[in-house]
Amino acid sequence: MAREVLSRTAYLDRWQELHGGYDPRSSRLVGPWLTIVQAVARPLARLGVAPDVVTLSGALVSALVVWVVSLQGRWLVLAAVIVGLSGLLDSVDGAVAVLQQRTSAFGAVLDSVVDRVSDVLYLVAFWVAGAPLGVCVGAGVVVMVQEYARVPPRWAWTTSAWSPWGSGPRVSSSSRCSCSRQASTPARRTCG
């Protein structure tokens, strides 16, 4: 039986709320991306697929990249396509959570952990593809530093129960959640 999910307008309104008031409709990049993400997420949300299942599926897809890269040759092109699919899944999990009104601090943490595991798997794939180890380590440092340097303190692990920075995003206490990215990057569990 199909579940009732948020409309596109309500989804974008909720996304805006979770991102400190940033309106994705004002961006020629974020708005269209979220339209694609919502179109992919909507059938999953209506079927009742749990957001955590989508998150964990993204981890499996990321792991698949290492194996495909190990095949070498033309398989590297398929690996690049799989990385793109993994990125889409990383946005879809949050969209499913928003559409089902199931955003949570646990989901945000799970998404963040899976994102870091995926980053490491991509670096391993880069190394398996033949990149020098030093380049892989350097890329890893850049990825990790940029990931956390751009997160303003008010967004990092923002449930007030354990945030060292105080209260989180402006959401009602009945729907308090976490978001560890700014509005320009829609790839977090509660960000959809």
Domain ranges of the chain: 8-175
* CATH no. of 8-175: 1.20.120.1760
Specify burial of residue 166 (Cβ count, 10 A radius: 0-12, 13-18, 19+).
exposed
> What is the model's pLDDT at position 179?
43
Across 150-177, average pLDDT: 44
Q: What is the pLDDT of residues 99-129, one digit of tens each?
A: 999 998 899 899 989 999 999 999 999 999 9
Contact 154, 168 (CB under 8 A): yes
- What is the distance of C-alpha 34 from the center of its chain? 12
Active-site residue set: 115
Whether the predicted model's global pTM rises above the 0.85 cut: no
User: Does residue 13 carry a pLDDT above 50?
Assistant: yes
